[in-house]
Structure 1
Amino acid sequence: MNNRQARIFAWGSTIAAAVIFLGLTLDSHRQFPNLTNAENITPEVTHGKDVWHKYNCINCHTLFGEGAYYAPDLTKITQHRSEAYLHAYMRDPGSFYDEQRHRRLMPQQNLSEEEIVNLVKFLDWVANVDNQGWPPRPILVTGGFTAGPGSSGAGQPVPVQSSSTSVGVRPVDAGDDIRALGENVFRTAMPTCVACHSLAPGADGAGPSLAGIVRRTEALLASGNYQGQASDVEGYLREAIVDPSAHLNTGGMYSANGVSFMPDTYGESLSEEEIEQLVAFLTTLK
């Protein structure tokens, strides 16, 4: 290749690269409205973003992998935590952690109810941005990793159902706090419930999926095949937690020699209040 050919090649390569770069840039801008669900940017979402900046949430948390990496990434948090949980957590984060045990505690920000509602709306908008699967392993507020939607293996918690339609202006009723605390117990009790049970229909692991547990319990209590002492759904759920061998699922998949594979230590490791909270959460799994 002589000098003239080399110059032509260099100029041609530069122009081709510039055209490709310009085309990709224009195509990206064309897709931004859909990728960022811009049509859902409401005044409440904008105010929620202002709340995020006002309280310097990014000093500890990350969105889209950008932030301080001190506390969990919240990019998809509304797909992993229910609205009730997020509201209760933001009102009083100290009730979800024991600082001596967990060695960390989110500061009490004293957010107003309006700020909480709008911040959750902002986080839900963030969660619905098409970020091409980033972050690949979102970190939950319990500090553990979770698999993406549809995961079904033992030890792979499935996200709690939530979507842009679930994060609305509905007032949080008085029972939401106890149910949200129960969700926290479900994910943090030792051993953790999510290590064996998923919340996705049909996604059985070391333990059965808990999706639809209320409906199945009602059918069991009415069937005449129930072997335990409970008389209602709440009683059955409490019994299953503290005395899992009181009634054994048929088929032998989750028990052997008349003993459930589920640990029988929760009656000792959980307080009565925590058991009550856990039962309240499980009763939401219709």
Structure 2
Amino acid sequence: MNKRQSRIFAIVATGIAAVAFLGLTLHSHTRFDELTNAADITPEITHGKDVWHKYNCINCHTLFGEGAYYAPDLTKIAQHRGEAYLKAYMRDPSQFYDEQRHRRLMPTQNLSEVEIANLVKFLDWVSKVDNQGWPPRPILVAGGAVNVAAQGTEQGVAQAQDVRPVSADSDPRAIGEHLFRTVVPVCTACHSLQPGVQLAGPSMAGMAERAALTLASPDYTGNATDVEGYIREAIVAPSAHLVPGAMFSADGVSFMPNTYPESLTDEQIDQLVAFLGSMK
């Protein structure tokens, strides 16, 4: 190829790339309203966005992977945590930490109840945007399910996903563990399997023993009569019994999502119960 041919090739290739870029950009703009559920944007959601900017939340957090990486990405936080948890957390983050043990990095912003409610609505809207899987993995901080030092590596991705295929004839406990790590909202976003590691919810280590003690306590307010029934109740009706004094509920409502009866089959719930019941 001589110089003239090389020049022509470069010009044509650049022209084709420019046309493709413009075409894809125009196509994206025709789909933005659909992908972002723009029709669902209310004045409250818009105000929640203004609250997000007013308190400079993006200085620590990210949305869709954009922002600071000092604290977790909040793109799907409304699905992972739920409204009750988010409202209680925003009112007083210090209640969710042992400052001597974990260091409380989230400041108390003294948001008004209206600001909190609308910020939660904004985050709920964000969580429903079709972001086509971006960011590609949870962005966690110390104390989460993934070691921060491993993020960005194959080890970190494997830990974050931790999805191991199970065969149809697997032990129900093995299938239950698989569900625990993959069901949406993902259980590992709030619960650790390690003793003494408390995230948004209690550790699942020793679940069976704690369930037995709870059932024997006069403070138990649910309807279960055995350990398996208690674990099932905690999954399908999490507000049936609230642990006294624990920051896992607010205003009589558990932070545990109450949507699993709709998103899981009875068989899948049985498998989760089998796995959690094996946590001695």
Shift of residue 5 of structure 1?
3.7
Q: How far off is 1:96 after superposition? A: 1.1
Q: Distance in 2 between matches of 1:20 and 1:73?
A: 32
1:273 partner SS: coil
Distance 1:105 1:32, change over 3 A: same
Aligned to 1:281: 254
Q: Distance in 1 between matches of 2:124 and 2:162?
A: 16
8 A Cα contact 1:48 1:118, kept in partner? yes
**Which of 184, 187, 196 is the matching residue for 1:190?**
196
Deviation at 1:11, TM superposition (A): 2.9
CA shift, 1:187, in A, is 9.0
**Cα pair distance change 1:109/1:157, threshold 3 Å:** farther
Structure 2 residue ranges without an equivalent (≥5): 147-159, 164-175, 230-242, 262-280
Alignment of 1:233-252 (within 5 A): 234=221, 247=226
Partner of 1:69: 69
How high is the TM-score relative to the length of structure 2? 0.59
Other-structure match for 2:144? 143
Q: In 2, distance between residues paired with 1:137 and 1:117?
A: 27
Please say if 1:14 is aligned against 2:14.
yes
Residue identity (%): 57
Instruction: Assess if the C-alpha contact under 8 Å between 1:61 and 1:74 holds in 2.
Output: yes
Secondary structure of 1:23's counterpart equals helix
Listed one character per residue, the Cα deviations across residues 237-285 of structure 1 (whole Å, up to 9, x for unaligned) are 6x9xxxxxxx5659xxxxxxxxxxxxxxxxxxxx962399699739975
Distance between the aligned counterparts of 2:60 and 2:8, measured in 1?
52
In structure 2, distance between residues paired with 1:280 and 1:189: 25
Pair 86,134 (structure 1): closer, same or farther in 2 beyond 3 Å? same
Q: Aligned partners of 2:247 and 2:86: how far apart in 1?
A: 20
The structure with more helix, counted as a fraction of residues: 2
2:246 partner letter: E
- What is the alpha-carbon distance in structure 2 between the residues aligned to residue 21 and residue 283 of structure 1? 44
- Aligned residues of 1:36 and 1:128 also touching (Cα < 8 A): yes
* Contact 1:230–1:236 (Cα < 8 Å) also in 2: no
Q: Deviations over 1:30-77 (max 9, x none)?
A: 111112222222111111111011111112111111222111111110
Return the TM-score normalized by structure 1. 0.58
CA deviation digits over 1:162-213, x for unaligned, max 9? xxxxxxxxxxxxxxxxxxxxx978899725677759xxxxxxxx989xxxx9
User: What is the identity, as a one-letter code, of the residue corresponding to 1:153?
Assistant: H
Bigger radius of gyration: 1
C-alpha deviations, 1:1-45, integer Å up to 9, x for none? 445544433332222222212111111111111122222221111
Root-mean-square deviation over aligned CA pairs: 4.5
Contact 2:35–2:129 (8 Å) recurs in 1: yes
| 1:195–1:15 Cα change, 3 Å | same
Provide structure 1 residue ranges, at least 5 long, that are not aligned to the other structure.
162-182, 198-205, 214-227, 240-246, 251-270
Query: What's the secondary structure of 1:69's corresponding residue?
Result: coil
**Aligned partners of 1:128 and 1:283: how far apart in 2?**
19
